[in-house]
């Protein structure tokens, strides 16, 4: 909208939160439900069986699609769509991390609107031709606390051939119900809790320093930054139930904020490295975040906002605090430390650069030229000083 008039969604459509809130599934009644989940954890811990039972007890026929990988591809989505078409669900239930939720969203999109496919979806999205309404219900139960796909209007699918992450944003992808049951996150390993938590922190900070920030999302993003910094260490290192619950809720709040406001260059670079090296999204963000903030604070408005966040988080300097947090959670400082070889980096350098200029980099608070990005990639890979 123009002249500073904004239309905001400040809650997702419906959020059911609290430990044990998965039992909300008992209140729902659908004819055919497709459940979508990732690797093994939600099956091994019995969560999928519990979800299935609650749905079946209410008369639903249930089918499960499992094995969604960490960067879901269009091929996986298309396989899922075939199952959707045979089964004809009136509800999709995604249980898992960002990958499972994103894959489920894309499957639903292609199932509901058969004229869409991987070749035309971006063009349709850009032209605003994807209908906002759909018939099939979408419910998300996140098992990690980071992506916030449970409340956003987007999904990110990887084009394996082009080594490119393709974001698809449209209102019909906003889930009808987000169930934030932190009991489900209790089996999340420390490493995943750390990486996904850093993704949530990145959402909150990138949203907060974005020039598009509004008064409403400011409150959500600021609370999320302070809350995640406070609770993430105990959530990861002690598996403390209260800390897990807090991070789960703050992650969702950060998601609501960035869905309205936008992100920045951390996500632009993260998607580039994530697609080329098949790295976990949270890990890529965690590597980049302090470097990108150090660069962005040359903008006086960003500098001021980072000071506000330092105050809110009761620390001297938020960027130093994040660097310390990374270290305490065992997150590598640079992409080289994360295990990417110099040879692989050099071999993919041009592709990384071209893709890092796309997406959220375009809405970074400091405009990014290719020359600057070229140097930023080395900063993130080697940990070089920002002297440009
Ligand atoms: Fe993210």
pLDDT (tens digit per residue) in 256-313: 999 999 999 999 999 999 999 999 999 999 999 999 999 999 999 999 999 999 999 9
pLDDT of the residue at 129: 83
pLDDT tier for residue 131 given thresholds of 50, 70 and 90: confident
272-290: burial string, b at 16+ Cβ within 10 Å, e else: bbbbbbebbbbbbbbbbbb
Q: How far is the CA of 60 from the centre of ligand 1 (A)?
A: 33
Q: How far is the CA of 285 from the centre of ligand 1 (A)?
A: 7
Q: How far is the CA of 374 from the centre of ligand 1 (A)?
A: 22
Mean pLDDT of 220-226: 98
Q: How far is the CA of 10 from the centre of ligand 1 (A)?
A: 18
Q: How far is the CA of 50 from the centre of ligand 1 (A)?
A: 29
Q: How far is the CA of 167 from the centre of ligand 1 (A)?
A: 11
Whether residue 241 is predicted with pLDDT greater than 90 in this model: the reply is yes
Q: How far is the CA of 153 from the centre of ligand 1 (A)?
A: 13
pLDDT of the residue at 268: 97
Whether residue 13 is predicted with pLDDT greater than 90 in this model: the reply is no
What is the fold, at CATH topology level, of the domain defined by 189-382?
A: Dehydroquinate synthase-like, alpha domain (1.20.1090)
Whether residue 254 is predicted with pLDDT greater than 70 in this model: the reply is yes
Q: How far is the CA of 196 from the centre of ligand 1 (A)?
A: 8
Q: How far is the CA of 150 from the centre of ligand 1 (A)?
A: 12
Domain ranges of the chain: 15-183, 189-382
pLDDT of the residue at 279: 94
* Residue whose tokens read 């916030």: 148
pLDDT of the residue at 6: 86
Per residue in 178-205, pLDDT tens?
A: 999 999 999 999 999 999 999 999 999 9
Whether residue 329 is predicted with pLDDT greater than 70 in this model: the reply is yes
349-356 and 265-277 helices, crossing angle to 10°: 140
Q: How far is the CA of 311 from the centre of ligand 1 (A)?
A: 24
Whether residue 1 is predicted with pLDDT greater than 70 in this model: the reply is no
pLDDT tier for residue 85 given thresholds of 50, 70 and 90: very high
Helix (H, G, I), strand (E, B) or coil at 259: helix
Q: How far is the CA of 91 from the centre of ligand 1 (A)?
A: 26
Tell me if the domain spanning 15-183 has CATH number 3.40.50.1970.
yes
Tell me the two tokens of residue 139: 């419910």
Q: How far is the CA of 15 from the centre of ligand 1 (A)?
A: 20
Residue 41 or 93, more confident: 93
Q: How far is the CA of 281 from the centre of ligand 1 (A)?
A: 7
Residue 60: closest CA among 93, 20, 14, 97: 93
Q: How far is the CA of 195 from the centre of ligand 1 (A)?
A: 10
CA atoms of 381 and 119, how far apart (whole Å): 32
Helix (H, G, I), strand (E, B) or coil at 95: strand
Q: How far is the CA of 31 from the centre of ligand 1 (A)?
A: 33
Q: How far is the CA of 267 from the centre of ligand 1 (A)?
A: 6
pTM above 0.75, yes or no: yes
Q: How far is the CA of 117 from the centre of ligand 1 (A)?
A: 24
Dihedral sign from CA coordinates of 123, 129, 132, 136:
negative
pLDDT of the residue at 124: 77
Whether residue 2 is predicted with pLDDT greater than 70 in this model: the reply is no
Q: How far is the CA of 23 from the centre of ligand 1 (A)?
A: 28
Write down the H helix ranges in the chain. 41-44, 47-57, 74-87, 98-112, 121-126, 190-209, 215-237, 241-261, 265-277, 281-296, 300-312, 318-328, 342-347, 349-356, 370-382
Please indicate whether the domains covering 15-183 and 189-382 agree at the CATH topology level. no
Q: Among the listed ranges 4-18, 26-40, 122-136, 342-356, which one has the minimum average pLDDT value? A: 122-136
């Amino acid at each position: 909208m123009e002249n500073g008039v904004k239309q905001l969604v400040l809650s997702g459509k419906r959020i059911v939160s609290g430990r044990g809130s998965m039992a909300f599934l008992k209140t729902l009644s659908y004819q055919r439900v497709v459940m979508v989940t990732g690797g093994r954890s939600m099956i091994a811990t019995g969560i999928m069986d519990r979800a299935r039972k609650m749905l079946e007890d209410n008369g639903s026929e249930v089918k499960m699609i499992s094995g969604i990988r960490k960067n879901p591809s269009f091929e996986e989505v298309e396989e899922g769509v075939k199952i959707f078409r045979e089964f004809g669900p009136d509800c999709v239930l995604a249980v898992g991390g960002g990958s499972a939720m994103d894959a489920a969203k894309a499957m639903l999109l292609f199932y509901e609107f058969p004229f869409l496919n991987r070749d035309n979806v971006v063009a349709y999205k850009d032209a605003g031709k994807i209908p906002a309404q759909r018939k099939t219900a979408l419910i998300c139960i996140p098992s990690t606390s980071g992506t916030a796909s449970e409340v956003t209007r987007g999904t990110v699918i990887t084009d394996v051939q082009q080594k490119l992450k393709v974001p698809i944003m449209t209102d019909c992808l906003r889930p009808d119900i987000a169930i934030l049951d932190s009991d489900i996150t209790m089996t999340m390993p420390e490493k995943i809790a750390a990486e996904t938590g850093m993704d949530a922190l990145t959402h909150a900070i990138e949203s907060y320093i974005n020039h598009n920030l509004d008064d409403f999302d400011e409150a959500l993003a600021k609370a999320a930054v302070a809350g995640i910094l406070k609770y993430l260490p105990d959530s990861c290192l002690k598996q403390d139930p209260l800390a897990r619950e807090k991070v789960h809720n703050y992650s969702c709040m950060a998601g609501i904020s960035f869905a309205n406001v936008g992100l920045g260059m951390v996500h632009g670079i993260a998607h580039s490295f994530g697609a080329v090296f098949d790295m976990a999204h949270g890990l890529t963000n965690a590597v980049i975040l302090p470097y990108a903030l150090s660069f962005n604070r040359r903008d006086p408005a960003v500098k001021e906002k980072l000071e506000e966040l330092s105050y809110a988080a009761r620390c001297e300097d938020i960027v130093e605090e994040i660097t310390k947090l990374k270290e305490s959670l065992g997150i590598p400082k640079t992409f080289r430390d994360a295990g990417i070889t110099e040879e692989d980096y050099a071999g993919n350098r041009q592709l990384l650069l071209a893709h890092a200029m796309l997406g959220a980099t375009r809405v970074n608070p400091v405009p990014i030229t290719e020359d600057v990005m070229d140097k930023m990639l080395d900063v993130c890979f080697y940990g070089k000083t920002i002297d440009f």
